[in-house]
Amino acid sequence: MASFPAVLQSEWTKIRSVRSTVWTLLLTFVITLLVGGLASLITKLNFNEFNEKATSTFDATGTAFSGILLGELAIIVFGVLAIGNEYSSGMIRVSLAAVPQRGTLLVGKAAVLGALALVVSVATAFVTFFVGQALLGDHSTTIGSPGVLRAVCGAALYLTMLCLFSAGVTTMLHNQTLALGVLVPFFFLLSPILSIVPWVRTGAHYFPDYAGSRMLLVYEQHDQPYGPWTGFFICLAWTAAAILGGILVLKKRDA
């Protein structure tokens, strides 16, 4: 029986030895930063024009995080590859032979993935915020302003939970191609469409991506179904359900 620290060490070795997973984490940082910085600079240069057309309070934090949608894609791919590579290569059989306690194995994987994703997500969120505010100039906000620190931390937690959610789904599906084929259309096509269709919009507001976007809010809007903290707990519930589902499937299904 492998000890849990040994499982963590093994999973860390696997992740850092696969270049594709490292590159996807780097892309999460770079894409979120570059797109957010570009959006902030464009907003600064055209602020008067944008402000005339605005129907709500200008959100300098939200502007800096304009690139988080593309960052989501990279962190989803990271979560999928970190699990799916073992299934595609057949290494999952070796892992299960070394750690017969399948629940322990997946919890160990999730712990390492979550820790690594959290470190990268925190760095991404804070660097993106400060670079964005520097580029916004006189239209910027500060980390100490009401709701700003919560929104920046919310961005980091959302990316982390999205990674773990993707890992759980990949474990349930046992196939990285199938997982990407489900997750990418869901987050970038199905969910946005359903969120604007009147008769299903209410249900779509409880999808993880919409809930995650509430976590980034600095100014709570009256026309929104719920606020940042509710969004956090909805995202957490989706993440926990995906990991639990992965454990149950891993226990009952052959690798």
- Kindly report, residue by residue over 173-221, the tens digit of the pLDDT: 988 999 999 999 999 888 888 888 877 888 888 999 999 989 998 987 7
- Check residue 219 and give its pLDDT: 82
110-114 LR contacts (CB < 8 Å, sep 24+): 110/164, 110/167, 110/168, 110/243, 111/8, 111/11, 112/8, 112/11, 112/12, 112/15, 113/11, 113/15, 113/79, 113/82, 113/163, 113/164, 113/167, 114/160, 114/163, 114/164
25: Cβ contacts below 8 Å, ≥ 6 apart: 74, 75, 78, 116, 117, 120
Retrieve residue 185's tokens. 């259309």
> Comparing 100 with 233, which gets the higher pLDDT?
233
Question: Environment class of residue 189 by beta-carbon count within 10 Å: exposed (0-12), middle (13-18) or buried (19+)?
Answer: exposed
- Kindly report, residue by residue over 165-185, the tens digit of the pLDDT: 999 999 999 889 999 999 999
248: Cβ contacts below 8 Å, ≥ 6 apart: none
∠ at Cα 23 (181, 246), nearest 5°?
45
- Residues 85, 175 contacting (CB under 8 angstroms): no
- Check residue 162 and give its pLDDT: 96
- Residues 64, 132 contacting (CB under 8 angstroms): yes
- Residues 97, 204 contacting (CB under 8 angstroms): no
Judge whether residue 6 has pLDDT over 60.
Answer: yes
Judge whether residue 230 has pLDDT over 90.
Answer: yes
Question: Across residues 50-79, what is the average pLDDT?
Answer: 85
pTM, to two decimals: 0.91
- Kindly report, residue by residue over 10-29, the tens digit of the pLDDT: 888 888 777 777 889 999 99
- Kindly report, residue by residue over 29-49, the tens digit of the pLDDT: 999 999 999 999 999 988 877
Retrieve residue 101's tokens. 């306690």
- Check residue 234 and give its pLDDT: 96
**How far is residue 20's CA from residue 253's CA, in Å, rounded to a whole number?**
27
Retrieve residue 165's tokens. 């959610």
- Check residue 95 and give its pLDDT: 79
Question: Environment class of residue 237 by beta-carbon count within 10 Å: exposed (0-12), middle (13-18) or buried (19+)?
Answer: middle
Judge whether residue 1 has pLDDT over 60.
Answer: no
Amino acid at 111: A
Judge whether residue 51 has pLDDT over 80.
Answer: no
> Comparing 245 with 56, which gets the higher pLDDT?
245
Percentage of the chain modeled with pLDDT above 70 = 95
- Kindly report, residue by residue over 80-138, the tens digit of the pLDDT: 998 988 888 777 888 777 777 888 888 889 999 999 999 999 999 999 999 999 999 88
- Check residue 172 and give its pLDDT: 93
- Residues 182, 169 contacting (CB under 8 angstroms): yes
**How far is residue 250's CA from residue 107's CA, in Å, rounded to a whole number?**
11
- Check residue 253 and give its pLDDT: 73
**How far is residue 227's CA from residue 232's CA, in Å, rounded to a whole number?**
9
